[in-house]
């Protein structure tokens, strides 16, 4: 008898793997609907700075409930079009993830530092060096990105399954949604024009708060636009540059009593130009700030111009502009690239050197001798002045002997210009910008997240960095004094831009110039005349009587040219701050008569 055995049903653990039910099955979603979900996430979660700004402006232009809803729909439609542009099968997950991370990062800085994502801010970001970048990588930033980008990215990669694209069925459906989004964006924009136009006109920064579209548009403008733009032709302006009569035997060496330091004939000039960093004029003790943040410069009787405006609100915009002969307006609309002040001085026959303690010279020093501070300093000097890949500016003072020897070693000693580019008061890690002796004001903010500090702590730490700059400039002046037996010496300090310290919720710098507060544009300009004023027959008393005149970075190029007695067709005497006080000049006699020949202050 044959025994028949009936098989019992297999237990779940013994079922073939192919038939085993999955414990977790990602939810299937089409790419077009996932793009819509992400666009909504951006509108509601990643546009907090935008909504906060609209709320703050409600007293000026209040939007009704339906207008707010329509605004949200327009933002969602515009963002949806971007996500759909990235919805190609092999691109979408990566493209969407990068967009979310960028948006979350941008929102963090918008909320905590009051920045806007315009083209200049994108250029700043691309130009930031490793040290400056690491200073911005805080735990708050990482947590913000994890929450607002990490969560949707986790869902995107693990929580859902994007359906395979079926071109015949999906193309027309996607096209329908894209068309509807375009219609909503255009139609909604037209309906919102009347209530929104006044806000955008009076507060142009609003457009740069739209996230992530502002970052995308600005980044595209910076990176893609140059590819389709013709490269500007380079123009030489130094062909006719030459040294004036003060360099010739029997030239007019100053013999007047306009300064307490007298010049000897044919002594070569030695001028130091200090490019200050992030120094706002209203925190400058010499300008009447209640705290004396500049006692050392005051003790050395510097000349201080109080009413000076910068060319830009960031280093990349300001430094090339201030060294240009064109001036702000013509520089920004130029159709050619030109040589700059340093090229002209070098072509005339002077030794020129750039020593950098920051993130580079922004192209200004490309054709002259230049060096990065930490790359030419000795190990002992780096140990003394540097920490965590950043060095205090005082390190540059220790390198002056070497830099002077380097540029004069070829035997050319007609004159020398040394340019020192500061780290200065660069934020947000202000506490790293001052040495212990300069930390006069306590308690100070000791974090990179300036918005986490009280107003008083933030002002304290910034002012301490100003005290450090004061000490650095004073030590440089003292070094110049030790060179006076061989050189006619002088120094100019001029900051590239200012800084916001929490006023109206703004921090750092880099806002578009037209909307930037005065704190980011009003900068200090200081001169220690040494014996260079006397060398070119400038009456110091006259200069000191005109320190309240309105100046800009436009005056810098021409003032340096005049001070060094370098002749060129690019020089404009009308923009030379010292020209009206230089003899022989009718204006000088008028100043002398009105001043009653007042005895000038000592410059030593």
Q: What DSSP line would sit under 293-336, residue for residue? A: S-HHHHHTT-EEE--EE-S-SSHHHHHHHHTSSS-HHHHHT-SE
User: In this model, does residue 20 exceed pLDDT 70?
Assistant: no
User: In this model, does residue 9 exceed pLDDT 60?
Assistant: no
Residue 417 main-chain phi, psi, to 5 deg: -125, 120
User: In this model, does residue 191 exceed pLDDT 80?
Assistant: yes
- Give all domains of the chain, ordered by start, each with its CATH number: 25-228 (no CATH), 238-595 (3.40.720.10)
Tokens encoding 291: 């705290």
Q: Give the C-alpha separation, 9 to 22, whole Å.
A: 19
User: In this model, does residue 603 exceed pLDDT 50?
Assistant: no
* 292-333: pLDDT as tens digits: 999 999 999 999 999 999 999 999 899 999 999 999 999 999
User: In this model, does residue 62 exceed pLDDT 80?
Assistant: no
Using CA atoms of 70, 514, 430, 281 in order, give the dihedral in degrees to the nearest 10: -150
The residue among 430, 466, 495, 557 whose CA lies nearest residue 276 is: 495
Give the three-class secondary structure for 525.
strand
End-to-end CA distance of the chain: give it in Å, rounded. Answer: 126
Q: Give the C-alpha separation, 98 to 92, whole Å.
A: 10
User: In this model, does residue 393 exceed pLDDT 50?
Assistant: yes
Q: Give the C-alpha separation, 601 to 302, whole Å.
A: 9
Instruction: Give the predicted TM-score (pTM) of the model.
Output: 0.73
User: In this model, does residue 106 exceed pLDDT 70?
Assistant: yes
pLDDT value, residue 495: 98
Percent of the chain with pLDDT over 90: 59
**Strands 416-421 and 351-356, bridge-based pairing:** parallel
Question: What's the mean pLDDT in 399-408?
Answer: 95
C-alpha neighbours within 13 Å on the C-beta side of residue 92: 23
* 411-442: pLDDT as tens digits: 788 999 999 999 999 988 899 999 999 999 99
Tokens encoding 468: 């450090």
The secondary element (H helix, E strand) that includes residue 305 is strand 303-305
Tokens encoding 564: 């060094």
pLDDT value, residue 22: 52
Q: Mean pLDDT highest for which of 90-94, 476-480, 508-512?
A: 476-480
Range from 2-11, 47-56, 509-518, 532-541 carrying the lowest mean pLDDT: 2-11
Task: Give the CA diameter of the chain.
Answer: 140
Q: Give the C-alpha separation, 466 to 434, whole Å.
A: 8
The answer to whether 263 and 531 are in contact (CB under 8 A) is yes
Outline where DSSP puts E strands in 54-178: 160-162
Question: What's the mean pLDDT in 238-261?
Answer: 66
pLDDT band at 249 (very low <50, low <70, confident <90, very high): low
pLDDT value, residue 89: 82
302 has which bridge partners?
none
- The sign of the CA dihedral 347, 349, 351, 357 is negative
The residue among 238, 232, 235, 322 whose CA lies nearest residue 275 is: 322
Question: What's the mean pLDDT in 143-152?
Answer: 93
Q: Give the C-alpha separation, 468 to 487, whole Å.
A: 27
| Cis peptide upstream of residue 409 (ω within 30 degrees of 0) | no
The residue among 512, 474, 504 whose CA lies nearest residue 491 is: 474
pLDDT band at 590 (very low <50, low <70, confident <90, very high): very low
Q: Which residue has the higher pLDDT, 409 or 194?
A: 409
Give the three-class secondary structure for 199.
helix
């Amino acid at each position: 008898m044959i025994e028949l055995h009936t098989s019992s049903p297999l237990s779940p653990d013994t079922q073939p793997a192919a038939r085993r039910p999955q414990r977790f099955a990602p939810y299937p979603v089409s790419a077009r609907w996932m793009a819509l979900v992400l666009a909504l996430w951006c509108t509601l979660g990643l546009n907090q700075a935008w909504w906060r700004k609209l709320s703050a402006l409600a007293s000026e232009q209040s939007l009704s409930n339906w207008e707010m809803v329509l605004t949200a729909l327009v933002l969602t439609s515009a963002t949806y079009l971007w996500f759909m542009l990235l919805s190609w099968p092999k691109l979408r997950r990566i493209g969407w993830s990068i967009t979310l991370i960028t948006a979350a990062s941008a929102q963090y800085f918008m909320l905590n530092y009051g920045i806007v994502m315009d083209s200049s801010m994108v250029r700043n970001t691309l130009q930031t060096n490793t040290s400056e970048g690491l200073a911005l990588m805080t735990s708050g930033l990482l947590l913000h990105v994890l929450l607002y980008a990490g969560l949707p990215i986790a869902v995107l990669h693990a929580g859902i399954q994007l359906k395979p694209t079926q071109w015949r069925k999906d193309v027309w459906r996607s096209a329908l949604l894209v068309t509807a989004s375009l219609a909503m964006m255009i139609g909604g924009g037209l309906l919102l024009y009347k209530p929104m136009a006044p806000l955008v006109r009076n507060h142009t920064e609003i457009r740069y708060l739209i996230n992530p579209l502002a970052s995308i548009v600005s980044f595209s403008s910076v990176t893609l636009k140059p590819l389709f733009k013709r490269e500007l032709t380079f123009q030489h302006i130094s062909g006719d540059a030459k040294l004036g009569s003060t360099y010739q035997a029997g030239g007019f060496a100053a013999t007047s009593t306009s300064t307490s330091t007298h010049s000897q004939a044919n002594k070569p000039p030695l001028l130091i130009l200090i490019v200050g960093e992030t120094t706002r004029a209203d925190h400058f003790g010499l300008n009447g700030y209640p705290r004396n943040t500049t006692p050392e410069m005051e003790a050395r009787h510097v000349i201080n111009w109080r009413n000076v405006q910068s060319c830009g609100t960031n280093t990349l915009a300001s430094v090339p502009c201030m060294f240009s002969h064109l001036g702000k307006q013509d520089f920004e609309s130029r159709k050619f690239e030109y040589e700059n002040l340093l090229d002209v001085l070098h072509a005339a026959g002077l030794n020129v050197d750039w020593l950098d303690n920051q993130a580079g010279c922004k192209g200004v020093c490309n054709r002259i001798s230049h060096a990065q501070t930490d790359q030419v300093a000795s190990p002992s000097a780096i140990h003394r002045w540097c920490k965590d890949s950043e060095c205090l500016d005082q390190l540059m003072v220790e390198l002056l002997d070497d830099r002077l020897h380097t540029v004069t070693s070829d035997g050319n000693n007609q004159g020398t210009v040394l340019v020192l580019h500061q780290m200065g008061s660069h934020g947000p890690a202000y506490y790293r910008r001052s040495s212990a002796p300069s930390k006069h004001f306590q308690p100070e903010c000791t974090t990179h997240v300036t918005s986490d500090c009280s107003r008083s702590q933030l002002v304290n730490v910034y002012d301490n960095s100003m005290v450090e700059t004061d000490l650095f400039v004073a030590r440089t002046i003292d070094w110049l004094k030790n060179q006076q037996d061989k050189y006619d010496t002088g120094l100019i300090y001029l900051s590239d831009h200012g800084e916001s310290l929490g006023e109206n919720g703004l921090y750092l710098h880099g806002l578009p110039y037209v909307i930037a507060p005065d704190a980011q544009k009003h900068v200090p300009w200081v001169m220690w005349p040494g014996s260079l004023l006397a060398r070119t027959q400038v009456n110091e008393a006259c200069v000191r009587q005109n320190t309240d005149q309105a100046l800009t970075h436009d005056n810098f190029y021409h003032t340096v040219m005049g001070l060094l007695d370098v002749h060129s067709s690019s020089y404009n005497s009308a923009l030379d701050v010292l020209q009206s006080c230089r003899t022989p000049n009718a204006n000088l006699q008028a100043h002398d008569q009105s001043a009653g020949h007042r005895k000038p202050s000592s410059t030593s």
